Protein backbone atom coordinates (compact mmCIF):
# COMPACT_ATOMS: atom_id res chain seq x y z
CA UNK A 1 0.00 0.00 0.00
CA UNK A 2 1.43 3.37 -1.01
CA UNK A 3 0.87 6.30 1.35
CA UNK A 4 1.20 9.84 0.12
CA UNK A 5 3.13 12.24 2.33
CA UNK A 6 2.28 15.93 2.41
CA UNK A 7 5.38 17.50 3.96
CA UNK A 8 5.74 21.28 4.18
CA UNK A 9 8.65 21.45 6.59
CA UNK A 10 12.38 20.97 6.12
CA UNK A 11 13.22 17.35 6.91
CA UNK A 12 16.20 15.02 6.71
CA UNK A 13 15.98 11.25 6.63
CA UNK A 14 17.56 10.25 9.94
CA UNK A 15 17.33 6.47 9.64
CA UNK A 16 16.05 3.78 7.30
CA UNK A 17 15.52 0.26 8.61
CA UNK A 18 16.57 -2.79 6.64
CA UNK A 19 14.13 -3.82 3.98
CA UNK A 20 12.08 -6.95 4.32
CA UNK A 21 9.86 -8.73 1.88
CA UNK A 22 6.23 -8.71 3.06
CA UNK A 23 3.46 -10.07 0.83
CA UNK A 24 5.57 -9.60 -2.27
CA UNK A 25 6.61 -5.96 -1.55
CA UNK A 26 9.66 -4.44 0.11
CA UNK A 27 8.90 -2.53 3.31
CA UNK A 28 11.04 -0.46 5.66
CA UNK A 29 10.65 2.15 8.36
CA UNK A 30 11.88 5.71 7.81
CA UNK A 31 12.70 8.13 10.65
CA UNK A 32 12.65 11.84 9.72
CA UNK A 33 14.57 14.63 11.49
CA UNK A 34 12.80 18.00 11.48
CA UNK A 35 15.15 20.86 10.56
CA UNK A 36 12.76 23.74 11.16
CA UNK A 37 10.42 24.81 13.93
CA UNK A 38 6.83 23.65 14.29
CA UNK A 39 4.82 26.74 13.43
CA UNK A 40 1.47 27.71 14.86
CA UNK A 41 -0.35 30.80 13.64
CA UNK A 42 -2.36 33.14 15.83
CA UNK A 43 -4.43 35.90 14.17
CA UNK A 44 -5.61 39.17 15.75
CA UNK A 45 -7.83 41.82 14.12
CA UNK A 46 -8.02 45.57 14.73
CA UNK A 47 -11.17 47.29 13.41
CA UNK A 48 -10.65 51.04 13.08
CA UNK A 49 -13.68 53.27 12.59
CA UNK A 50 -15.35 56.35 13.98
CA UNK A 51 -16.83 55.84 17.42
CA UNK A 52 -20.48 56.91 17.62
CA UNK A 53 -20.67 56.25 21.37
CA UNK A 54 -20.70 58.99 23.96
CA UNK A 55 -22.31 62.39 24.00
CA UNK A 56 -23.29 64.08 20.76
CA UNK A 57 -23.63 67.85 20.73
CA UNK A 58 -25.70 69.76 18.15
CA UNK A 59 -22.95 72.35 17.68
CA UNK A 60 -20.33 72.61 14.96
CA UNK A 61 -16.83 73.76 15.70
CA UNK A 62 -14.32 75.27 13.27
CA UNK A 63 -11.50 73.14 14.70
CA UNK A 64 -10.90 69.45 13.93
CA UNK A 65 -9.08 67.58 16.68
CA UNK A 66 -8.02 64.60 14.61
CA UNK A 67 -8.08 63.71 10.93
CA UNK A 68 -7.82 59.96 11.51
CA UNK A 69 -8.59 57.19 13.95
CA UNK A 70 -6.40 54.49 15.44
CA UNK A 71 -6.91 51.10 17.01
CA UNK A 72 -5.05 49.13 19.65
CA UNK A 73 -4.98 45.47 20.61
CA UNK A 74 -2.97 43.15 22.87
CA UNK A 75 -1.09 40.26 21.23
CA UNK A 76 0.84 37.36 22.75
CA UNK A 77 3.70 35.30 21.31
CA UNK A 78 3.39 32.00 23.20
CA UNK A 79 6.17 30.36 21.19
CA UNK A 80 9.71 29.92 22.42
CA UNK A 81 11.42 31.93 19.66
CA UNK A 82 11.16 35.35 18.04
CA UNK A 83 8.05 35.24 15.83
CA UNK A 84 7.61 36.92 12.42
CA UNK A 85 4.38 38.83 11.76
CA UNK A 86 2.17 39.06 8.70
CA UNK A 87 0.39 42.44 8.65
CA UNK A 88 -2.67 42.81 6.39
CA UNK A 89 -4.32 46.24 6.05
CA UNK A 90 -7.73 46.22 4.37
CA UNK A 91 -9.38 49.45 3.24
CA UNK A 92 -8.32 53.07 2.91
CA UNK A 93 -4.94 54.17 4.30
CA UNK A 94 -2.73 57.26 4.13
CA UNK A 95 0.85 56.60 5.21
CA UNK A 96 -0.16 53.84 7.65
CA UNK A 97 1.83 52.88 10.75
CA UNK A 98 1.90 49.80 12.97
CA UNK A 99 3.63 50.37 16.31
CA UNK A 100 4.45 47.54 18.72
CA UNK A 101 5.04 48.41 22.36
CA UNK A 102 6.02 46.50 25.48
CA UNK A 103 4.76 48.69 28.31
CA UNK A 104 5.55 52.26 27.25
CA UNK A 105 8.63 51.33 25.18
CA UNK A 106 8.37 51.07 21.37
CA UNK A 107 9.84 47.70 20.36
CA UNK A 108 9.41 47.82 16.59
CA UNK A 109 7.52 49.81 13.97
CA UNK A 110 6.21 49.67 10.40
CA UNK A 111 5.56 52.81 8.31
CA UNK A 112 4.66 53.07 4.62
CA UNK A 113 4.67 56.15 2.39
CA UNK A 114 1.60 54.97 0.51
CA UNK A 115 -2.01 56.13 0.14
CA UNK A 116 -4.99 54.22 -1.20
CA UNK A 117 -8.78 54.52 -0.98
CA UNK A 118 -9.44 50.75 -1.15
CA UNK A 119 -7.67 47.42 -1.54
CA UNK A 120 -5.24 45.54 0.68
CA UNK A 121 -1.63 45.89 1.78
CA UNK A 122 0.31 42.81 2.96
CA UNK A 123 3.64 43.01 4.79
CA UNK A 124 5.23 39.62 5.53
CA UNK A 125 8.27 39.16 7.78
CA UNK A 126 8.25 35.37 7.36
CA UNK A 127 11.84 34.33 6.50
CA UNK A 128 12.28 33.43 2.81
CA UNK A 129 8.81 34.93 2.15
CA UNK A 130 9.33 38.60 2.95
CA UNK A 131 7.38 41.11 0.89
CA UNK A 132 5.49 44.40 0.95
CA UNK A 133 2.72 44.45 -1.64
CA UNK A 134 -0.67 45.89 -2.39
CA UNK A 135 -3.61 44.02 -3.87
CA UNK A 136 -6.23 46.05 -5.72
CA UNK A 137 -8.90 44.47 -7.96
CA UNK A 138 -6.94 41.20 -7.98
CA UNK A 139 -3.75 42.87 -9.19
CA UNK A 140 -0.69 42.30 -6.97
CA UNK A 141 1.95 45.06 -7.04
CA UNK A 142 5.15 45.28 -4.97
CA UNK A 143 5.39 48.48 -2.93
CA UNK A 144 8.69 47.57 -1.26
CA UNK A 145 10.21 50.92 -2.24
CA UNK A 146 7.44 52.85 -0.44
CA UNK A 147 8.51 51.76 3.06
CA UNK A 148 10.12 54.12 5.57
CA UNK A 149 13.65 52.74 5.69
CA UNK A 150 14.23 54.30 9.14
CA UNK A 151 11.79 51.73 10.61
CA UNK A 152 12.06 47.95 10.93
CA UNK A 153 8.98 47.31 8.68
CA UNK A 154 9.44 43.51 8.72
CA UNK A 155 8.16 42.99 12.25
CA UNK A 156 9.19 40.28 14.74
CA UNK A 157 8.24 39.87 18.42
CA UNK A 158 10.05 37.94 21.14
CA UNK A 159 7.96 35.63 23.36
CA UNK A 160 5.66 37.70 25.57
CA UNK A 161 2.76 40.13 25.52
CA UNK A 162 2.67 43.32 23.45
CA UNK A 163 0.37 46.21 22.58
CA UNK A 164 -0.09 46.84 18.85
CA UNK A 165 -1.29 50.23 17.66
CA UNK A 166 -2.55 50.64 14.10
CA UNK A 167 -2.71 54.14 12.61
CA UNK A 168 -4.30 54.04 9.15
CA UNK A 169 -4.02 57.81 8.65
CA UNK A 170 -7.65 58.12 7.51
CA UNK A 171 -11.03 58.65 9.16
CA UNK A 172 -12.82 55.74 7.51
CA UNK A 173 -13.39 52.05 8.19
CA UNK A 174 -10.08 50.17 7.95
CA UNK A 175 -9.08 46.74 9.21
CA UNK A 176 -5.63 45.53 10.26
CA UNK A 177 -5.15 41.77 10.62
CA UNK A 178 -1.99 40.56 12.37
CA UNK A 179 -0.85 36.95 12.12
CA UNK A 180 1.92 35.72 14.45
CA UNK A 181 3.94 32.67 13.38
CA UNK A 182 4.79 31.16 16.79
CA UNK A 183 7.73 28.74 16.73
CA UNK A 184 8.03 25.57 18.79
CA UNK A 185 10.64 22.81 18.87
CA UNK A 186 9.49 19.54 17.31
CA UNK A 187 10.20 16.14 18.80
Cβ neighbours for 56, distance < 8 A, ≥ 6 positions apart: none
For the chain, the structural domain boundaries read: 38-184
Confidence of residue 10 (pLDDT cuts 50, 70, 90): low
From residue 172, alpha-carbon distances to 51, 92, 109, 137, 168 in Å are 11, 7, 22, 20, 9
pLDDT score at 54: 54
List, for residues 146-157, the tens digit of each pLDDT value: 999 999 999 999
pLDDT score at 1: 40
List, for residues 35-65, the tens digit of each pLDDT value: 677 778 889 998 876 555 555 556 665 554 4
Mean pLDDT of 116-128: 94
Pick the CATH number of 38-184 from 2.60.120.880, 3.30.1330.10, 3.40.50.1980, 3.40.630.10: 2.60.120.880
pLDDT score at 32: 73
Amino acid sequence: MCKRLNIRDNLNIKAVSTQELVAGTLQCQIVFQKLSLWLKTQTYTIEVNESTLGKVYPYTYPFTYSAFYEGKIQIVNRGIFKAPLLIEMIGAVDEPEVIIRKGTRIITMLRLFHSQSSGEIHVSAVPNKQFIRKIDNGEIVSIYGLQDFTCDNFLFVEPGEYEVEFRPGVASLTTCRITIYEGYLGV
